[in-house]
Chains A and B, each alone.
Chain A
Amino acid sequence: MKILIAVDGSRHSQITLRLGAKIARMTESPATVLTIARTKFARQECNDFLVEVEEWLSKESFPIETKVRTGKPVRQIVQEAIEGEYGLVILGFRQAPSTLKRIFGPTVDQVVTRAPCPVLIAKEDKGDLKHVLICDSGAEGPSLMNRFIRQMRELVTTDLQVSVLHVMSQMSAGPGVPGWELRANAEELMKAHTPEGELLEQDANVLQTSNIHPRVVLRHGFVVDEILAEARMGNYGLIAIGAHRREGWQSYLLDDLAHQIIVQADRPVLVLK
């Protein structure tokens, strides 16, 4: 798996580089550090920054390649990911500085949408990266687990600890609804073969084919809140979510929960494609 680490020289670049180095070492993958010069006049500044990066990473005894591209960051990162056939893009997260950019989507969102491979959003290192929380909404069936195994196969080793989380944000729509499922735990739902129970069971089966024995977790509440709470409580090193590539009417009408998780999470978020 080739790794592309995109940095912009900001304070967050240190976090991104540190996480990129850690992942590259864990998976024994070659990495390229990319920085984007918005104009050709800014290239020299970018080259100087990359020299510093090379020095810093050489102390970590970690071989890297560096690259500067000129143009719009999103387009250049995506273009590099496609041309270089990378298996993972790592980039830092910064809250969009302008309201306009918040409305039209910050760089991270646009890269997540357009990148051909999984995108890892770097945040403060909170724990072991081999302790992963995979959040399955059920919208994609077992394909999310398959994608995790296929796209992150270098990470999938016997010491990988995975928890599969499904959040039931439903509540009773009116009186007279039995609704025992709204209070049940994962085991109860799996035993009763409810849609959520079957989803968790399917997920567990898929992961077990790769010798991963996941813990299944079910929480009740707001989707984003519960994912973040579980990540904190379980002290996971990585949150993995699916990127819902909404098209047409859905992109205008549906809420972007992936974006909310990326913004609010206090630890790295892996967006599977």
Chain B
Amino acid sequence: MNDALEDDPVEAIQELPAAKRDKVVSAGQMSRRLRAIWIRIHWGKVALFGISLFLFILAITFMKNGARELAPLVRGAFNVSNPANSLGFGWVFAYLVMSGSPVAAAALTFLDAGIIDTIATFTMITGSRLGASFIVLFVGLVYVFRGRNWATSLGMGLLSLTVTGSTYLIGLIIGIPLLRSGFLEPVRLESGMLLTSFIEIVFESIAAALSLVLPGWGIFLLGMGVIILSFNLFDRCLPKMTLKESQVGSLATFVFRPGVMFLLGAAVTTMSMSVSVSLSILVPLNDRGFIRRENVIPYIMGANITTFIDTLIASVLLGNPHAFTVVLAEMTSITIVSLIVLIIFYHPFERAMLDFVSWITRENRHLYLFMAVIIVAPIILLFV
């Protein structure tokens, strides 16, 4: 049959029985589709994803190996000795590195090195998310200094920070007892034997070689640099969502059920691993950069849960079961808070968030007061 197809494919196909002919035609269509998909794949981005994944694992290995020597610095100089300190430490640390995920990964390596306990790790990760929300606000502030309107430029950043702050701080109340109860400890996710051996052979060897020339704290700092680089590279792997390209954004013309936006926020952030990236995806197609108030809050709430996916992966790579439990407790507590809000008092919560944001943007002194509070609060926590 293959010979016949090569001689005159069309005639040969027409001579086949109907069932076989359909199979040959559908196989041809499938082949064309696969070829089209193959052409559409951005191989450069796939390679970049591979590199960012490699760097991510390398960074975790560096941080894990270097963290032990940081114990005196973290306990002594930064005085991280209780959950409030670690909350403030994670918060300030995220401000300094302008990102939350590297700080959350650092918290896990501190736990692995025995510098902080599980509760302090939990609050440090919470602090890292609070600090990361400030970054969105910081970008808005840059526009304000360039002469844009307060309310318009800062609205989304303030809302993101307010929703994140309120759900995460309430999440602490649920998360800490949940962690203490040991309820989540039976849940385990471990990297496979093959990955563990691969990490030991490749990444541990690089770390061991580096330890000959660098002190432990130097390896940790190098790890922080590499993890920030890996997240930056990962962001570049994602398709660039602009005003004209975002297909998700075209949905912004409708008012969706809160639960739908919650799931959408969670799903998009699972793929993008960044709240700010997933928020930018919401920007409407061919529109003016607007989003409906009704849609955005549950979306942020959903995004705030799955933004921990990278931290969860880091905990698996560390191979420390307690680290995994901490991240799971974080995700579980935020999920519980979000579901309670969505099911029981979503509309009052929604109004309270928006009212608070409009109060902040109403007068310059309100904004200055708010900024002062979110800058001073983590510093005070460090010294509690």
Interface residues of chain A, those whose CB is within 8 Å of chain B, are: 169-183, 221-223, 225, 250, 252-255, 257
What 4 A-B pairs are tightest by C-beta distance, nearest first?
Answer: A170-B290, A177-B289, A179-B152, A173-B291
Q: A179 to B139, alpha carbons, bound, how many Å? A: 17
Alpha-carbon distance between A225 and B293 when the two chains are bound, in angstroms = 12
- CB-CB under 8 A from B255, the residues of chain A are 169, 223, 254-255, 257
- Most chain A Cβ neighbours within 10 Å, of B143, B257, B290: B290
Give A265 Cβ to nearest chain B Cβ, in Å.
Answer: 15
Q: Is B69 part of the contact surface with A, judged by Cβ < 8 Å?
A: no
- Does A172 lie within 8 Å of B156, measured CB to CB? yes
Bound complex: CA of A222 vs CA of B352, how far in Å?
A: 12
Per-residue A-contact encoding for B115-157, CB less than 8 Å = 1, 0 else: 0000000000000000000000001101100001101111111
Partner-A contacts on B (CB < 8 A): 139-140, 142-143, 148-149, 151-157, 159, 249, 252, 254-258, 260, 279-280, 282-284, 288-294, 296, 350-351, 354
Contact present for A173 and B290 (CB under 8 Å): yes
A222, B290: Cβ atoms closer than 8 Å: no
A171/B254 in contact, CB under 8 A: no
- Pairwise interchain contact A222-B351, C-beta atoms closer than 8 A: yes
Q: Once the chains bind, are A173 and B156 in contact (CB under 8 Å)?
A: yes
Contact (A175, B257) CB under 8 Å given A182-B290, A222-B293, A255-B294: no
23 contacts between A and B (CB under 8 A): A169-B255, A170-B292, A171-B155, A172-B291, A173-B280, A173-B282, A173-B283, A173-B289, A174-B283, A178-B288, A179-B289, A181-B288, A183-B149, A183-B152, A221-B354, A222-B351, A222-B354, A225-B351, A252-B257, A253-B254, A253-B256, A254-B255, A254-B256
Q: Residue on B with the closest CB to A253?
A: B260
Given A178-B152, A257-B255, output 19 extra A-B contacts at Cβ < 8 Å. Answer: A169-B292, A170-B292, A172-B153, A172-B155, A172-B156, A172-B289, A172-B290, A173-B283, A173-B284, A173-B289, A175-B140, A175-B142, A175-B154, A176-B143, A177-B290, A182-B151, A183-B152, A250-B254, A255-B257
Set of chain B residues within 8 Å of A173, measured between Cβ atoms: 156, 249, 252, 279-280, 282-284, 289-291
Q: Are A177 and B288 in contact (CB under 8 A)?
A: yes
Query: Is A175 in contact with B151, judged by CB distance below 8 angstroms?
Result: no
Contact B294 A169 (CB under 8 A): yes
CA gap between A181 and B149 in the complex, in Å = 12
**CB contact between A175 and one of B156, B260, B291 (< 8 Å): that residue:** B156
Answer whether A175 and B296 are a contact pair too, CB < 8 Å, given A222-B354, A253-B257, A254-B256: no
Report chain A residues within 8 Å CB of B143.
175-176
Partner of A172, one of B152, B249, B350: B152
Closest beta carbon of chain A to B2's beta carbon, Å: 44
Q: Chain B's nearest CB lies how many Å from the CB of A188?
A: 15
- Complex CA gap A175/B282 in Å reads 13
Nearest-Cβ distance from residue A247 to partner chain B, whole angstroms:
14
Report the nearest B residue to A264, measured CB to CB: B347
Which residue in A174, A178, A182, A222 is a CB contact (below 8 Å) of B294?
A: A222
Q: How close is A150's CB to chain B, nearest CB, in angstroms?
A: 26
Q: How far is the CA of A257 from the CA of B279 in the complex (A)?
A: 24
A176 to B252 CA separation, bound complex (whole angstroms)? 18
